[in-house]
Structure 1
Amino acid sequence: ISHVFNFDLPYDPEAYVHRIGRTGRAGKTGIAITLLTPGEQGRLRRIEGYTRQKITPATLPTEADIQASRDAGLRERMLIWLRRGRYSREQAMVQALVEEGHDLAEIAAAALKLARAEEKQRPIEPLSEVRSDAFAPAGKRERRPRHPVDPAPKPVPSRSNAREKGMVRLSISAGKAHGVRPNDIVGSIAYHANIPGRVIGAIRIKENHTLVDVPEEFVAQVLAKTGQ
């Protein structure tokens, strides 16, 4: 694949490397784009330290930039067909319209309007300005846990079992103090254990740990795969 988009930075740098590595197989190159929130800067620094590479910030395109790109793409597709010359039926239609008294430039404009009709399904939404001051200062360090983090899920004591029938509650030694979010938990377990993210149940993120409910049938698989 040519592009990988990260909507949520994984907590584990190795998972990030594995994910973006899908763009560089068989000697090909690719682009990885990450959408970053101010609270994820700590994860970004960990990934940069792990990969020993600086991730370069990019400037969001303006509405005019996006429209110009669409215009350029449409123009290029037109030039391709002009070089091919295989449009005899369409040329006959144009000739008929000219004979009816329509202006040639107006015919071409109407044809272009039809050609880009699909763009209505992809409207350009207003883009808010990215404020650099919304990000924490470079010298500010992300809050660290008091104890070493072992993110591998573990069964919790029976008194804390999941209330939902057929679910087992697991504990992960990473919580709010580590910047963990529900999407991180679902994505990590689903990816590493190879189970559908939709089957994962309730998630309770505490200060230094997280409780997550997993269907009983997948518990052994989750414990075996995510602990590797």
Structure 2
Amino acid sequence: MSSDATDHKPSTPSFAELGVAVEITDALAAQGITHTFSIQELTLPLALDGTDLIGQARTGMGKTLAFGVPLLDRVFDDADVAELDGTPRALVVVPTRELAVQVGEDLNRAAQNLPVRVFTIYGGRPYDEQIQALDEGVDVVVGTPGRLLDLYNRDALQLDKVAVLVLDEADEMLDLGFLPDIERIWEALTHKHQTMLFSATMPGPILTLARSFMNKPVHIRAEAADAGATHATTKQVIFQAHRMDKPEVTARILQCEGRGRTIIFTRTKRTAADVSADLAKRGFAVGSVHGDLGQEARERSLEAFRDGTIEILVATDVAARGIDVDDVTHVINYQTPDDPMTYVHRIGRTGRAGHSGTAVTLVGYDEMHKWAMINSELGLDQPDPPVWFSTSPELFEALDIPEDAESVVGKPRKVVGARAPRGRSRGRI
């Protein structure tokens, strides 16, 4: 279940109290969702009224329903939105395939009582099936920039009646080089429409883009401007680890008390494959998600992680977008991130939606310069992480690892999603 799907803070207004259509509130209530998160409470009144807005909140704070609920409400029953006729009334643009799938699922659940058809589009899937779905009629489209633009250029995707445009995870789209595609999609919407832009951070190019295309947007932050970049509910454990000892260290961390779903982040695709293979050989039930895997294999791993078939997922940063699970107990940075915002996004996968979590960062001796930059910019007060090994008592104590924890926990297993198909897809993201 996603982080949005949690009845979190009863002290906040309910969706019903904010005027959301009963068909939507009933669908949310069936999932145990009744009250809003901060970003939802602040954005809903404006979004339901058709106002352009920029929503800023950290990962895991409920952004999907912050734009999804008003989007569905307006498409379903707003006098300013034309009657549904099978051409899209709303377009949600996201940076990655995995996030597209997750957002599409969240919107479909919220729309289960509505006569609104939600369809997800991304690269790596046949064009024919997506063109056929669009021909048969779609009211809300969720998709990645490249494939959306391809279908628009083929005249398969009509944008002339889109009343609501959403750009989700805008900072990631900037990092992945999608800004030109976003601009071309935006330029295609020459008619009056509402735009909602959501992002954890607001780099200069994103704000410039917003000023160019949005109509007097209201900038909403779900927390104080000087709030820390990381969740207060996340315990951060940082130490220096020798590259050759990292597999042993990781195997022991995975045996700590109270560990549930765990994401291990690597910087490269090769390391993701190597780490997942090593853990499977040690007997851990593990899946892998990285760019060298075909789309079906990636989806198989993600589904196994979401449904609890596996509790450990090894992922690269790009592939991990869309892992919207609210009960990840641990995040392990097997390789130190390249920059502070990547660190924030990684550890934001735990400590979400009111849950507590633990983020462990293994800083290689050759990665200290990266850690120095992260520590300085985020004010983490950890300039000189201690040096620990897989046998260090301090490691066991800091992470509640049983004293008898060994590096092998069972018979070798197969990595879920490890085998890439012979013909890798060449479709655009």
Q: TM-score, normalised by structure 2?
A: 0.19
Q: Higher RCO, 1 or 2 (CA under 8 Å, sep at least 6)?
A: 2
Greater share of strand: 2
The structure with the larger Rg is 1
Q: TM-score, normalised by structure 1?
A: 0.29
